[in-house]
Chains A and B, each alone.
Chain A
Amino acid sequence: MQDFIQHIINGISLGSIYALIALGYTMVYGILKMINFAHSDVYMVGAFAAYYVARFFGIEANPGLPTLITLLVASMVVCSLLGLAIERLAYRPLRSSPKLNILITAIGVSLFLEYGGQVVFGADPKVFPEVMKDFVLFNIGSVELKSFDVTVLVVSLIAMLGLQFLIHKTKIGKAMRAVSSNASVASLLGMNPDRIIAFTFIVGSALAGVGSVLVGMKYPKIDPLMGMMIGLKAFVAAVLGGIGNVGGAVLGALIMGLSEEMVVAYISSTYRDALAFGILIVILIFKPAGLLGKYTVEKV
């Protein structure tokens, strides 16, 4: 029983990391109806940005809240700028091209960042600095709840609520929803879709930046290909929850984390990655719009 509870804690903690990245996928999809495959590589660049900032200022020696905030800000700024640049240089010129062209461009940008990252940062793994001390919040028997796990979960829930607020209660959120439903009509009504799309990329990429620092804190090994698998799984989580739906992304991510943990614990770690794609296939067959997604009829 104790093990089972520990597995649940581990699973939720893993899932909340997927959630932070899944939110970025879902946001961009929600507004542009495109999957930004480069998102997980923006996250990788964020981790390296934090790593180099920590090294440059030598703040790795004194872990604590100020260090965490500095690195979060650094990573968010770098990720936002990168997200903005990708949108401006790679996606905007293709805005009126077929969806497939944009999708392939996204994959190209992703590969560019992964292998460019190997050239710039080196292919060998780097060790992320110790940002904060991890400590036990409470334990029952051998079941322990650690501060990192709670931090990551709380941050992804705050991010989710913040996004909900942004989308449904603010003016720019209203504009985002308008652009999402019909960009050309929105522009006729005086909105600037380009600016709103750029804003979406900034917010989504900043979330990836937050995720990268939290992951670096928890799993202190970073390398240029670190975004690959985690990105795919976060993408599956977003589809599982209903892509374009903010709450769905978090729900999907938690389900992914938990089921992965249970598969490794009770069956075999070999199925860990197969599971993610198994879930994807099952969902696409039985509920293509995802758990919380709305089924929409394509107008032909």
Chain B
Amino acid sequence: MKRLLLALVLVLPLLTSCTKKENEIVIGEYDSLTGSDATFGLSTNKGVRLAIDEINAAGGVKGKKITVITLDDQGKNEEAASATTRLITQNNVVAILGGVASGRSKAAAPIAQSHKVPFVSPASTNPDVTKIGDYVFRVCFIDPFQGLVMAKFASENLKLKKVAILRDVKNDYSVGLADVFNEEFKKRGGEIVADLSYQAGDIDFKAQLTQIRSKNPDGIYVPGYYTEVGLIAQQARQLGLKVPMMGGDGWDSDKLYEIGKDAINGNYYSNHYTTESTDPVVTEFIKKFKAKYNETPDALAALGYDAAKILVAAIERAPDLSGKAIRDELAKTKDFAGVTGKISLNENRDAVKSAVIIQVDKNNRKFVTTVNP
């Protein structure tokens, strides 16, 4: 009896996964629903769910409902890879919505590529991700773009002449942003008076900041993550440095203000979208998101939403449900009116779109301006 039960338990999931329903289209998604950066995954997943619910409520695609199977990668690269394999080989998904972190996309995308299943990442910004192959797409801009945007904003809007850079040398993201900022800011006639570094996990930045202070810059570019940036802002203020600080989307967290307190107030960072936008696409999205989850969507929720919408639009346009057909249509995505801007995918399968500049205003994110590529 025990053995029979065991056999049944083992066989049941196989039976259910084998019975492919004819009236649904299955999309796979993996995300960090637990683990140290679970907030990223949970937000993305909420955005994806909202988009799919909307599409199904409107009658689905090709007369079929869309089902999303979401697996948890626990914030680990190897789990992302095995989740992707499972989605493709067992669940027979037509396409994959990838995770947030670039490292996990790098682990998972090659599997999708080798099975010729289209892979769309909502928020992996590392330039190498889409170089994996022609089935890999993303709906966010890439890291170097943010450095460019901030250099443009610093010289044109803030009219800064001398800027110091403080980068996290351990973090590819930070180094990428800093390099592009450095090059672009000089091209615009500015001067980089100091280019110093720290390492994620450091808590004391006074040595670097004292050195920066002696160079009298008009601004400091710190493209790191919010934990260190908060401490850097505080210690800069303690040393009497009052010039504006600038950064990238790694700043986007409520923790930034908690750690940095008043010292972080008034500083600027580039981000994917703003909740203050008056664009009807954005206001509608925020209204629906609030109604469903009772919270304000962050940039990752918006990117998840856009990724799902773009993928479904491509499925709708595709003549059949083969990987190749969907891939070809994804590649043709042009001027898609998303929450995070007008999205066109270029020949590298990266999104080309504008970025917004946000000013820290206590715990709020004050929209300053939109910068186009």
Contacts and interface: CB of A to CB of B under 8 A. Distances in A.
B198 to A, nearest CB: 5
B206 interface: yes
Contact of A220 (B202, B211, B259): B259
B196 A269 contact: yes
Contact of B239 (A6, A127, A265): A6
B206 to A, nearest CB: 4
Contact of A144 (B36, B201, B231, B239): B239
B170 to A, nearest CB: 9
Nearest to A13: B206
Contacts of B197: 268-270
A261 interface: yes
B161 interface: no
B77 to A, nearest CB: 16
Interface in B188-211: 196-199, 201-204, 206-208, 210-211
B208 A269 contact: yes
A109 B273 CA distance: 45
Interface residues of A, number: 33
B36 A124 contact: yes
Contacts of B196: 269
Given A125-B255, A221-B227, A265-B207, A272 B202 contact: yes
Contacts, number: 75
Contact of B231 (A3, A146, A219, A272): A219
A153 to B, nearest CB: 15
Residue among A2, A124, A144, A261 having the largest count of chain B Cβ atoms under 10 Å: A124
Contacts of B35: 123
B277 interface: no
A3 B214 contact: yes
A135 to B, nearest CB: 10
Interface in A205-240: 215, 219-221, 225-226, 229
A221 B214 CA distance: 27
B230 interface: yes
A14 interface: yes
Given A125-B227, A221-B259, A269 B239 contact: no
Contacts of B210: 3, 6-7, 10, 265
A269 B169 contact: yes
Interface in A92-146: 123-125, 127, 130, 134, 142, 144, 146
A127 B259 CA distance: 6
B203 A261 contact: no
B206 A134 contact: no
B54 interface: no
Nearest to B209: A10
B46 interface: no
Given A10-B206, A221-B203, A3 B211 contact: yes
A134 B35 CA distance: 35
A229 B239 contact: no
B238 interface: yes
A223 to B, nearest CB: 8
Contacts of A7: 207, 210
B258 interface: yes
Residue among A14, A123, A265 having the largest count of chain B Cβ atoms under 10 Å: A265
A127 B264 CA distance: 14
A269 B198 contact: yes
Given A219-B204, A221-B227, A265 B211 contact: yes
B226 to A, nearest CB: 9
B323 to A, nearest CB: 36
Contacts of A219: 203-204, 231
Closest 6 CB pairs of A and B: A264-B207, A123-B36, A10-B206, A219-B203, A265-B207, A127-B258
Given A264-B207, A269-B197, 5 more contacts: A124-B36, A260-B207, A261-B206, A265-B208, A269-B169
Interface of B: 35-36, 169, 196-199, 201-204, 206-208, 210-211, 213-214, 227, 230-231, 234, 238-240, 255, 258-259, 261
13 contacts: A6-B239, A7-B210, A10-B204, A10-B206, A125-B255, A127-B255, A130-B261, A142-B240, A219-B203, A220-B259, A265-B210, A269-B199, A269-B202
